[in-house]
Every structure is written in C-alpha cells, then in structure tokens.
Amino acid sequence: GWGTVDVDDVLAIIDTALDRYSFCDRARVGMLGGSYGGWMATWLAGHHGDRFRAFCSERAVNNATALELSSDISTAFNAIHGVNHLEDPDEYVRMSPITAVRNIDKPVLIIHSEEDWRCPIGQAEELWVALKLLGKEVDFYRFPGENHELSRSGSPLHRVQRGEIILDWFSERLRDGTP
C-alpha cells in the first residue's frame, strides 16, 4: 500500500506540526528521506509538491519494478507488498514515484552511494536523468565506495560531506524570501 495510508500519515503529522508550533513556517517546508524515506520524498515531490519548497531524496526506491529486479533484498518486496512485480506489475508501477516525475516542480537534491546494492545507483540515475530531460531543478551527488549505510556508517569524510551538502542545499532553498 505504499503511496496510500503511509502518505496520509506523513501529511497529517506535517499539518499537525505546522498547526501546533508557531515557529514552523508553512512557506518553508522541506522534505528529506533516505531509503523508504527517499521513496517518500520522491513520491511527495511528484504527488504533493505544492506542500513543500524543496526535497532531498537519498538512496531511494524510485522505480519499484526495476528495484525488484536488482536489489540485494528483492525477495523481501514480495513479503512487504504481498505480490511481486511479475504477479501484479500494475501495483509496482502505481507505487513507483518515477511515474509522477513530470509533476515535480520543486528543487530536488539526490544523494546516492555507488555501492548501494539495497537500492542500486540506477534508482537515482533514472530520477536524475528524467528530471534533467524535463528541465527541472535537480542536483545529484554520488558517493564512491559507499553503500546503503552512508548516513550511519560511511567513511567519516563522506558523512561530513553529505551533511554539509544537505545543510547548504536546504539553507539556500528554504531561506526567507526565496520562491
């Protein structure tokens, strides 16, 4: 059910935080997520982009059908979704954020590791190429020698670089007065 009740829950949490905390500015909401959270970031960019100013999608699932063919845990998706991509290809297409790439109209930062076998680098490359071909604002950072765990256990230098990239990128796109 990716893209259904999970998205409703995330949007409800965001709305509650924006309503409850006066220091939260509705005009300056950014979204960052990694792995399933990266899927969520790309999904929200394509389906609810009007709610956000910018997105960072890290080590994401962007094309579920392709992931089913290439991930080191590909058989797990059958357990998660109840079917595999051969049994119900339409469901895998439905939950693939890449299908809504034309709707993305906010800046996107893509971060991915070249040795990520959980969500192989092709997931990021496909999104980046599509956004570039459509003339969208997108930045893509690839980390050599890193895997799916970059944010938690990657090399110290790359973890620092990743953090600086994210902070600088969002600082520029979420500041007051910028569209």
Q: Which of 47, 148, 151, 158 is catalytic?
A: 148
Active site residue 148: yes
Q: From CA 1, how far away is CA 42, in angstroms rounded?
A: 16
Active site residue 35: yes
Q: Do 85 and 92 touch, CB atoms closer than 8 A?
A: yes
Q: Do 58 and 83 touch, CB atoms closer than 8 A?
A: no
Q: Do 127 and 98 touch, CB atoms closer than 8 A?
A: yes
With 0-12 / 13-18 / 19 or more C-beta atoms within 10 angstroms meaning exposed / middle / buried, residue 86 is: exposed
Amino acid identity for residue 3 in this structure: G
With 0-12 / 13-18 / 19 or more C-beta atoms within 10 angstroms meaning exposed / middle / buried, residue 99 is: middle
DSSP type of residue 25 = -
Among all residues, which ones are annotated catalytic?
A: 35, 148
